[in-house]
Amino acid sequence: MCRSINMNIVISGLGIIGGSMAKAIKKYTDNYVYGINRSREPLDKALACGAVDEAGNEETLRIADMLILGIYPDAAVDFVRKNKDRIKKGCIVIDTCGIKSKICPELSQLAKDNGFYFVGFHPMAGKEKNGFDVSDADLFLGASGIVIPCDVPQEAVDTTAALLRKLGFGMVKFSTPEEHDRMIAFTSQLPHVLACAYVFSPRCIDHKGFSAGSYRDVSRVANINAQLWSELFIENKGPLADEIQTLIDNLELIKKGIEKGDREELARLLHKGKEIKEALGE
């Protein structure tokens, strides 16, 4: 059977996210994928396993119907700025970054000025490890894909959302850069800050034999990609600092309850945790 080719998709950056997008596109759709990567090895691996059809370069952007940026936030903005004249008119450009307020306005303006469409995108999936070697066609199955329309025509949003659903995303959540950054500070950045702060305890190194699932869960993401997350944290400084402070305040509240030693009062405070989880059906 002849499989019709829908779009030429260029993916810049074949790490865990770009690599998984490439693999998922080839597994679940009929689009043609060009891969661009700073170093050669991930690209060779992607070509060898069929995650990309062909090596691309900046000139390939002239025929791209979609450009997916699988690179760090600063690099993503640099890439689009440098190639704004090469990106085909009408091309849909999507990023995959964990912050949005810092990058959406400039990318959106570059798009408007040069006749292509920028749609912000953040896949809520990942692993503790990074790089093409751990990329996976099924990384996104059931995950949420956050989409920031950034004032583009509805058709570009619909095309993006339709592609994401084909790649296995269980939910497409539409949001704004500000809401995204405030929520991500809580759902994703804070747990990473927390995991590091937690394992800094002098007790951590001796935990074996004394620990079980609770230790494992809180500490899991402490094995952090420090370069990437330090960029994400600093570029979302305001919401994240607020969220850390909220957590510190709530830790202080529980600590005071423990020190006061009124068991019923402490139980009432802790019971709120159960109520919140139950209200969420968790």
Helical spans, DSSP H, in 131-221? 154-166, 177-184, 190-199, 213-219
Candidate segments 14-22, 47-55, 108-116, 258-266, binder of a second copy by CB under 8 A:
258-266
Please, which residue, 134 or 266, has the CB nearer to a second copy? 266
Residue 248, classed as helix, strand or coil, is: helix
Please, which residue, 49 or 143, has the CB nearer to a second copy? 143
Q: What are 4's two structure tokens?
A: 């019709």
Please, which residue, 81 or 255, has the CB nearer to a second copy? 255
* Residue 172 CA: distances (Å) to CA of 25, 142, 146: 17, 10, 6
- Window 143-182: contact mask with a second copy (x via CB under 8 A): xx-x------------------------x-x-x----x-x
**Number of residues lying near a second copy (CB under 8 A):** 93
For the chain, the C-alpha Rg in angstroms (whole number) is 21
Residue 46, classed as helix, strand or coil, is: helix
Q: How far is the CB of 193 from a second copy (least distance, A)?
A: 5
- Under the binding rule (CB under 8 A), the answer on residue 48 touching a second copy is no
Q: How far is the CB of 273 from a second copy (least distance, A)?
A: 4
Q: What are 276's two structure tokens?
A: 């919140």
Please, which residue, 131 or 191, has the CB nearer to a second copy? 191
Please, which residue, 21 or 195, has the CB nearer to a second copy? 195
Phi-psi region of 49 (alpha: psi -120 to 50; beta: other; left: phi over 0): alpha
Determine contact, residues 171/81, Cβ cutoff 8 Å. no
Indicate which single residue of 38, 81, 82, 271 sits in contact with a second copy (rule: CB under 8 A): 271
Please, which residue, 75 or 183, has the CB nearer to a second copy? 183
- Under the binding rule (CB under 8 A), the answer on residue 131 touching a second copy is no
Cβ count within 10 A of residue 78: 12
Residue 281, amino acid: G
Please list every residue from 178 through 237 that binds a second copy, using CB under 8 A: 180, 182-188, 190-215, 217-224, 226-227, 229-231, 233-234, 237
Candidate segments 7-15, 22-30, 112-120, 249-257, binder of a second copy by CB under 8 A:
249-257
Residue 206, amino acid: D
Q: What are 27's two structure tokens?
A: 């597994």
